[in-house]
Structure 1
Amino acid sequence: MACLAAVPLALPVALPTALLIARPATAQETSISFGTGSSDTKAPIYVDSDQLSVSQTDGTAVFEGNVKVAQNDMKLSAPRVLVVYNEAGDEIERLEATGGVTLVSGEDAAEGDRADYDVVNGNIVMRDNVLLLQGNSTIASDIMHVDLDSGSARMEGRVRTVLQSGKD
């Protein structure tokens, strides 16, 4: 643990076993429940990484090497996380996790090549090779939009789903 920092805003995501609402197979979008919609989006984010570089010039911080981000019961891991601050440098505008991202909460997990967290609006967008595992069900797509306030998500692109009934 070379770097440990408390970042003063939230990346809350609870991924309960979801009620999946799949549209017809020809649709390019699938809506799912995602999170509780009552998470504390202002809770601190804790970051652990091998390296930290801070730029006063452009208002960014880069965490690299085995980056672990935690907020409440949510865990995010990636090789690199860029933190972008507002012009005043006193609040985080967004986080950009790249290089293969894993997002875990409870028994559920999502993976993608990239995750962008818009702190101001409380949204996460995972992109490229997105795979969401919820209980016995899986959903793969190109893009997953998560609204942290409502606890909902939307999968876009070529959506592929395996729904399990839970029966043997």
Structure 2
Amino acid sequence: MSRQVSKGFPVRHLKTIVTAAALALGTAAFGQGAEVALGGLRQDPGLPVEVTSDNLRVDQSDGSATFSGNVLVSQGEMRLTAGEVEVIYAPIGGRIAELRATGGVTLVAGEEAAESQEAVYTIDSGEVVMTGDVVLTQGANALSSNRLTLDLTEGTGVMEGRVRTVFQTGGD
């Protein structure tokens, strides 16, 4: 049986609340940013990229292709959905250099998911920068901010701009 601090509040939850408060204060002290570990959003950027959509527009003059309508980008276990994705090809070699997603972006891998208004995925570096009303969920926990920069090769991310965190304590 756990000890009670006050009406119905078990002492064992105090550690969780103190830790959450310390994280929140630490976040505010470091320029409104937070670094997060992302085991599920780890990805090998060398894997093939598959894109499906309702429409495709190709612009030969600038070497871009724009997929629109129910866009799904797959790479390994990672899935990105958006209203529109512009594919930027490298000037030499014709390989994909960058994906620019807009129109409600969702990036999912394993039990982790991130949502934003826009995202830019630089393939060679494995970096994804998500901007605009960013929400990152890890299981039952959620973080929100204005910007999330993911390093898919390392499985880490940095949230910037008024970070808000909700921790689920799981208690009884």
Output the TM-score relative to the length of structure 2. 0.80
The 5-angstrom pairing of residues 90-105 of structure 1 reads 90-105=94-109
CA RMSD, Structure 1 to Structure 2 (Å):
2.0
Q: Which of the residues 19, 24, 28 maps onto 1:26?
A: 28
- Say yes or no: does 1:119 pair with 2:123: yes
Distance 1:37 1:102, change over 3 A: closer
Aligned length: 149
Q: State the SS of the aligned residue for 2:36.
A: strand
Q: Which amino acid aligns with 1:85?
A: Y
Distance 1:106 1:36, change over 3 A: closer
The percent of aligned pairs where both chains have the same amino acid is 44
* 1:110 matched residue in structure 2: 114
Runs of 4+ in 1 over 6 A off after TM superposition: none
Q: Deviations over 1:40-80 (max 9, x none)?
A: 22111111100111111101000001101111111110000
Q: Give the Å deviation of 1:26.
A: 2.2
Q: Which has the larger helix fraction?
A: 2
Q: Which amino acid aligns with 1:96?
A: R
Q: Which amino acid aligns with 2:113?
A: A
Deviates more, 1:66-75 or 1:31-40: 31-40
* 1:146 matched residue in structure 2: 150
1:74 and 1:38 map into 2 onto residues whose CA distance is: 9
Question: Bigger radius of gyration, 1 or 2?
Answer: 2
* 1:8 matched residue in structure 2: none
Q: State the SS of the aligned residue for 2:28.
A: coil
* Structure 1 spans left out of the alignment, 5+ residues: 1-19
Q: Which of the residues 159, 164, 172 maps onto 1:160?
A: 164
1:39 and 1:111 map into 2 onto residues whose CA distance is: 17
Distance 1:37 1:144, change over 3 A: closer
2:94 and 2:133 map into 1 onto residues whose CA distance is: 34
Distance 1:100 1:87, change over 3 A: same
1:131 and 1:39 map into 2 onto residues whose CA distance is: 19
- Say yes or no: does 1:69 pair with 2:73: yes
Output the TM-score relative to the length of structure 1. 0.82
- Say yes or no: does 1:46 pair with 2:50: yes
